[in-house]
Structures are given as C-alpha cells and as structure tokens.
Amino acid sequence: MGCRPLLFVDRTHLLGKYGWILLGATGKDGNKGIFHITFAVEALYGEDDYEEVITFISDQSKGLANAVARVLPSSLHGYCLCHLEANFMKANGRLEKSLKEQCWAVIKKIAYAYTSKEFDDAFSELAAISANAHDWLLHNSDINHWCNYLLKGMRCYEIYSNVAESFNVCIKEARHLLIMSVVNTIWFKLMNMLSELRKMAAIWDTYLCPEIRKKVE
C-alpha cells in the first residue's frame, strides 16, 4: 500500500479492573488512508514501558520523548501541533484572546514553513505582533520537533497526531474488556481493515494511489 515513512503513536487506558495501558502505532498508506500497524498491552505506565515502541510523531508525552531519544537517538521525533497550541495558550494566558489567536495563526505559518524565507518571514511577523510570544516560542517550545523547516527528514505535511488518536477511537468499545478479548477485538478490526484495503486496491488501474495520482495530474 506504499505506507509513508511515518509512525503515529499514542496510548490509552483500558477500563478493566487491572488498569492496563494499550499502546498503538498507526501509519498512513499511499492513498492518505489510515493504516493501523501494531499494538501492545502494558501493565505499567512509565518511561521504560515505551522503549520498544518506535515513534516518529506523537503528542509530546514525556515518557515517549525520553525513550525515543535514548533508544533511537538517530530517529526523528515530530511533535503534534495541537499540543503545542494548548501549551502556548496556557503559558501566554496574560495576552488578550484576540492577540493570542493572531499569534497562533502566525505560529501555524512557522510550523508549515518549508523554506528559510518562509520561516524567517513568519518568525519576524510573530516578533512584530508580540515579543513575549516570540520569546516563548524560541525558548520553550522545542521548535526543532514541530517546525517543518527545522525538522530533518520527511514529515509529509503531517503536523498533527490525530492519526494515532484515531486508533483509540477505533477500539473504544473494547477498552472495558479483559485483555484477551481486547486483543481479539483489535485483531478482528485490523483483519477487516486490511481486507477492505485489499479489495479497494484490486480495482486500481495504475501504480499510483488515487490520491497521489490526483496531485500528479
């Protein structure tokens, strides 16, 4: 299916009496569709529990970030812009609402910038609007992890980690079950998903996925 070189990871609490944690890794296929790759059930919730999970895009969870940096030091780790927005709004609570919204619109320009000119222009625009917002972004936001221009490698225009969270939504009804039932439910859903993707791909008349073909044409 030509999956993109990205992994979106997230974790969700199971609702049974044992308090397990379900970890999920999701990708995107060549047709920009959601492709669930793997999952794991963990009994503990701590930094060490994530060491075997390969991640590239996440919600900036401290356990994930530290584990990736230690176990996969050469890997790329992009942060979700949604969580940056929440942190920005909280840290700059003294700014007027309209000013914060104006600043955030410019910060999104910075995030999507792919050239040095786009990046410099947007950063200068933010400084002109609010020196406080500019300084916070520069010193407190881990900008190298969410700005396209500064993050090395391909991010394929994926700024948010919504793909990972979609996995949690997909297995929502299974979260209260016992562990074996959770695993069986997820496997059943994954098999159905793969079957539907196989049927869809079987009728394609080109090597390119439809969504990519639209861009080429």
Q: What is the pLDDT of residues 101-153, one digit of tens each?
A: 999 999 999 998 988 999 999 999 999 999 999 999 989 888 888 888 887 65
Cα gap 166→161, rounded to integer Å: 9
Q: Quick one: pLDDT at residue 45?
A: 47
Task: Determine, yes or no, domain membership for 138.
Answer: yes
Q: How many domains does the chain have?
A: 2
Task: Clarify whether residues 71 and 169 are in a common domain.
Answer: yes
Domain hosting residue 137, numbered range: 81-145
Task: Determine, yes or no, domain membership for 152.
Answer: no
Task: Determine, yes or no, domain membership for 21.
Answer: yes
| Mean pLDDT score, 69-82 | 76
Cα gap 139→209, rounded to integer Å: 41
Task: Determine, yes or no, domain membership for 32.
Answer: yes
Confidence label for 3 from pLDDT (cuts 50, 70 and 90): low
Cα gap 170→165, rounded to integer Å: 9
Domain edge (last residue) among 111, 145, 179: 145
Task: Determine, yes or no, domain membership for 62.
Answer: yes
Task: Determine, yes or no, domain membership for 119.
Answer: yes
